[in-house]
Structure 1
């Protein structure tokens, strides 16, 4: 039978034919695509023609098109609906792709052609985007070891292959721990829980094939359980399970993996001539140096810790008033913080949550994008990777812009967290190629016939990921390598975090936050109390985040520790981490950092981007308001459409006229007076 992955896709919008693709197709397809890519690269490297931008850089851009197309399908399935065969293939592909990547990076003839073009760049009559692509291509080869020879060259290939394998195993171990743990609840254990938590627990139990309700390690279920369960013993059990992912001993324990990853990253940096892996990694980011990152984090740490310490005193007093003796523990914080929110802001999550329906929040995200950028979303019937996935055609003035997919519900085989990815990137080299963009979340799935209700934080996550999607969908560049979110790591979160601000616009809430049963809009008084409470518990949120970001930075800015858990504890102690606030992501399940190189030494980037997003939204407020058309056009023209065609600082300065300071972030988080 014909392998659908290797055939032309005659589906609508050339979507992958998910209904025809089977796991057994992937190995053959990837092997064939790798052979095709190797042949294409070999032809470029050994060409007798003098190197030109077209026959070298552009040809390299297209060399692995088929491979990229197939892998986008595979990794979508592997991350959203994993099974043992897909996990085996992930491990196999990790080895093969690492080998291919090293072959390309270490191809001396290929690099010689690129180097020739670089030396001739001023006489090649290149466009600005072509000059940028040549610069980035050469830089990626140099940073991958193209200038190394002999043992260092061979050893670097071995190190990268091992790191790739370890990253895959790290991810699969977390998924296994999340998939296998569930805390079954008796009916008496449901006492004190809001109905939406009970419904989520019943749905989770049914999904696991259990007889009754259960709490799983899905964030959208376990966090509200920690917020509302009056049973301190059950909160502790749930919290310990959640925070011990990857550290339970046995085959899924990630502690030794983390230690080896840090040692190999250090060796990689040394082979390339850097003082540390953090120096290597940050060279291409806006921050540039570990010192700049540390300076930002510590500027925010001091006021954040002061706020968290003050909050801890009050929460402990509330706990003692309940007759609970002893210290405030991590499994107590969310429970008493929720009680405090109700006291301070008269907010009850059970009253609030019916106003945040998934369907309506998605409509709100679309509506804001329409007012800002003129795009429209219409549901379409196309092949998708899971029955829960929603598909939309994005158009502007009747013209096709993109396909947007939303995969919103948690399930057993889905990786935790939320992310944006693509099945196809925007580019013009091979024609006017429009993107297929996927947002993935892990919201609690409702019981049959009931609306999906989100927390306010869930709604912010939806807007956040749609901000990433807009960056992909509104991209307008020629080359895929600089398309969409192909920007510095500490710039990539700007569009996503900026888009969260539109959820807080009062008129948006008044229109789209409607009650699931009555259809009535959120009352103004409740809306205003909600907005007034957006900085509630910000000391906790900031401290848990900076704790993780500092551990990540120090792990990579110094000699690799023999025992990462011991070093983690030392770092947290040195900054005075409050005992009742854990790191947001402890080392054994810190997938941002250890599942791949993406956010290694760069978890700080969310805060770096937040400095800009607070300032960028202020630009709208200073102009004509949240939907000011001139600012919206500038945002698209100067940032969203540009991808990585220019340096991030250049793009932001063009949009805003200057780079911002940290004050807007501190004010936005309520850590200093506005």
Structure 2
């Protein structure tokens, strides 16, 4: 069938999931799509994709890059469309029916992908090309695509015997089911664990907007009175830094840290054990020692030992810094008891007490819409020449979603940007970027990018004021957006953020540097009521505060990264011997030198969605690994003059536009003129000796 024409149903109508859209940039017509449309659409799309694959495999001409690898890359466009629509919905706006569909699709899509990867005739054609790659006169993007397709097939099991292939299929299908279930249970138990508070006085320390959001959450949950404190995804809850009542702090902390391990229907501990065992067995079948070795073979890090050494160095530095921080904090708190529920509270009190200028009023200068248009978009315009024109009246997937057309510096449209910023019970925790459509010159597709945050929605008519952390998150996620929007590659699988996992966070971390940059801050930071610009001393204090990373934050992150690796360095026999999730967790943290009652990991195993529900297994180290590149690049930007169009052009040319069409590390080294070094990161985090 012709690409983009959609699939006709038995009554002759076109499934709206697959139907051509006349909306700008082919934005899906969400208003015309019902949940009942998805399974038929995926069924039809998988059938048509397999027909395309069979035609490629059956081609009697000798294999070439064009008739095999490129043809495979450009096939399955209806399936890509359906996936872009459906999986964008499941994260920010799920419901029971979508959860059921997601569960069914998790295994069906995995089986579909394995059928293609293990297709014996297709694999023989790809293998033939891979073995003759040096003779084929391929461009760098073509060579990388060929190498990747060959490795993917081998890693799926295409090179194994029949019995081993069957076991690989069973493992992949089961893992797809388990990881999808894990994510769903986290959302359910996070919602179920929200903390009810009857008396407003127990919310002392929270802002009026936070209190209003808690009251609204309680009402939406069916409480006639009282307040509901919704939990965030990480262990550390931002309200703990503000609540003055230690009993309420403890209640919130306990609710957070005990999620998904309470013995109820949302308990995930058995899922964790099965996931770990299956991953270990898959790695063994493919000849790897463990899952970490299997994963890191595809990353920029050379091997698990290099990651271990890197984390060990940081762990030691962070532990020393943490000891100094705790000693200082204990002296500041005096006779007050400091437990794990109190640490961020006292850190915040100390910060306020020692600040030359109080930061309490900073959020008054950070109204969401103003930050977006005069901060995030302003920086993107100064650096990359981008223009943003808001489009209204389009059929988006939720009323809170906003849409902008993005144009280059000559006024030519390059894609769409969707912003979905407010928290709701149907949205999983955290913040992320998603692609509904990947950029591809070969297909003529321009990107449609979504940013999702979880900022509490204000009451009608009230401003949405951002904390420094929320401000940084907004700029961070928009860094991923820039990676998608500025992509300029031929092949969709090399587009934008389709880079190694331990490189993908780098561009987004770089974009954080502009959140409080003097030129950017001066442009957006105006008081939401008076319109007065932010006082210079408050701006300076905010920059100083944001530039000081607490040892606590570093330790909780490193604990999670070390825990991730510990789970995924288990051999099959070792994984089988683990039967107690909490006991394994405690030993892993002790072995890493990070076991402390005061600072639990950023995510405990039972709700560590990045590694047991998402794509960061054996890869949570990626954030700080790529932060080495970020710290170096921030210095490069500043040394070259900062917020200048030429700097943006060079960074976009080296990184943002290239996706996975080039070696990303080599491109970065060419940009800054040398291999990255760790010293700037240690200085930034206060870990330098």
- Secondary structure in structure 2 of the residue aligned to 1:475: coil
Which residue of the partner structure matches residue 343 of structure 2? 333
Which residue of the partner structure matches residue 248 of structure 1? 262
Superposition pairs for residues 622-661 of structure 1, below 5 Å? 622-624=639-641, 626-661=642-677
Displacement of 1:537: 5.0
Summarize deviations over 1:162-200 as a string: whole Å, max 9, x none. Answer: 110000000000010122233232222233433233233
Which residue of the partner structure matches residue 78 of structure 2? 66
Which residue of the partner structure matches residue 6 of structure 2? none
Displacement of 1:208: 3.0
Which residue of the partner structure matches residue 442 of structure 1? 454
Find the aligned partners of 2:686 and 2:84 in 1 and give their Cα distance: 41
For the Cα contact (< 8 Å) 1:639–1:652, is it kept in 2? yes
Which residue of the partner structure matches residue 582 of structure 1? 600
Find the aligned partners of 1:262 and 1:373 in 2 and give their Cα distance: 43
Superposition pairs for residues 303-318 of structure 1, below 5 Å? 303-318=317-332
For the Cα contact (< 8 Å) 1:227–1:334, is it kept in 2? yes
Q: Is 1:108 aligned with 2:139? A: no
- Secondary structure in structure 2 of the residue aligned to 1:4: coil
For the Cα contact (< 8 Å) 1:175–1:415, is it kept in 2? yes
Which residue of the partner structure matches residue 430 of structure 2? 417
Which residue of the partner structure matches residue 285 of structure 1? 299
TM-score calculated relative to the size of structure 2? 0.94
Find the aligned partners of 2:222 and 2:387 in 1 and give their Cα distance: 40
- Aligned-pair Cα RMSD in Å: 1.7
Summarize deviations over 1:26-83 as a string: whole Å, max 9, x none. Answer: 1111111111111111111122222122221111112211011011111111111111
Runs of at least 5 residues in structure 1 that lack an aligned partner in the other structure: none
1:571 pairs, out of 582, 588, 601, with 588
- Secondary structure in structure 2 of the residue aligned to 1:421: strand
2:636 pairs, out of 616, 619, 636, with 619
1:556–1:400 Cα change, 3 Å: same
Q: Is 1:457 aligned with 2:469? A: yes
For the Cα contact (< 8 Å) 1:216–1:222, is it kept in 2? no
Which residue of the partner structure matches residue 172 of structure 2? 160
1:194 pairs, out of 207, 230, 233, with 207
Displacement of 1:384: 1.3
Displacement of 1:535: 4.1
Displacement of 1:419: 0.7
1:285–1:478 Cα change, 3 Å: same
1:272 pairs, out of 286, 290, 295, with 286
Displacement of 1:398: 1.0
For the Cα contact (< 8 Å) 2:406–2:416, is it kept in 1? yes
- Secondary structure in structure 1 of the residue aligned to 2:418: strand
Summarize deviations over 1:422-464 as a string: whole Å, max 9, x none. Answer: 0000001222x11000011111111111111111011110100
For the Cα contact (< 8 Å) 2:383–2:646, is it kept in 1? no
Summarize deviations over 1:488-539 as a string: whole Å, max 9, x none. Answer: 1111111000100111212211221222222222211111111112244520
Find the aligned partners of 1:220 and 1:376 in 2 and give their Cα distance: 34
Find the aligned partners of 2:220 and 2:404 in 1 and give their Cα distance: 27
1:149 pairs, out of 147, 161, 164, with 161
Displacement of 1:239: 1.0
Find the aligned partners of 1:162 and 1:514 in 2 and give their Cα distance: 52
Which residue of the partner structure matches residue 356 of structure 1? 366
For the Cα contact (< 8 Å) 1:197–1:221, is it kept in 2? no
For the Cα contact (< 8 Å) 1:510–1:524, is it kept in 2? no
Find the aligned partners of 2:227 and 2:265 in 1 and give their Cα distance: 28
Superposition pairs for residues 90-239 of structure 1, below 5 Å? 90-185=102-197, 186-211=199-224, 212-218=226-232, 223-239=237-253
For the Cα contact (< 8 Å) 2:25–2:415, is it kept in 1? no
Find the aligned partners of 1:78 and 1:133 in 2 and give their Cα distance: 29
Which residue of the partner structure matches residue 439 of structure 2? 426
For the Cα contact (< 8 Å) 1:418–1:461, is it kept in 2? yes
For the Cα contact (< 8 Å) 1:179–1:413, is it kept in 2? no
Count how many residue pairs are aligned between Structure 1 and Structure 2.
Answer: 666
Find the aligned partners of 1:207 and 1:55 in 2 and give their Cα distance: 56
Find the aligned partners of 2:25 and 2:422 in 1 and give their Cα distance: 25
TM-score calculated relative to the size of structure 1? 0.96
Displacement of 1:347: 5.5
Q: Is 1:594 aligned with 2:606? A: no
1:587–1:524 Cα change, 3 Å: same
- Secondary structure in structure 1 of the residue aligned to 2:361: helix
Find the aligned partners of 2:506 and 2:220 in 1 and give their Cα distance: 36
Displacement of 1:348: 4.5
Which residue of the partner structure matches residue 401 of structure 1? 414
For the Cα contact (< 8 Å) 2:468–2:546, is it kept in 1? no
Which residue of the partner structure matches residue 5 of structure 2? none
Find the aligned partners of 1:220 and 1:487 in 2 and give their Cα distance: 25
- Secondary structure in structure 2 of the residue aligned to 1:441: strand
- Secondary structure in structure 1 of the residue aligned to 2:488: coil
Which residue of the partner structure matches residue 668 of structure 1? 684
Summarize deviations over 1:116-150 as a string: whole Å, max 9, x none. Answer: 22223233332221122111111111111110112
Displacement of 1:222: 8.3
For the Cα contact (< 8 Å) 2:194–2:229, is it kept in 1? yes
Find the aligned partners of 1:143 and 1:303 in 2 and give their Cα distance: 37
1:124–1:536 Cα change, 3 Å: closer
Summarize deviations over 1:196-221 as a string: whole Å, max 9, x none. Answer: 33233233334434334321113699
Displacement of 1:362: 1.2
Find the aligned partners of 1:213 and 1:520 in 2 and give their Cα distance: 34
For the Cα contact (< 8 Å) 2:513–2:634, is it kept in 1? yes
Which residue of the partner structure matches residue 486 of structure 1? 498
Displacement of 1:98: 1.1
- Secondary structure in structure 2 of the residue aligned to 1:438: strand
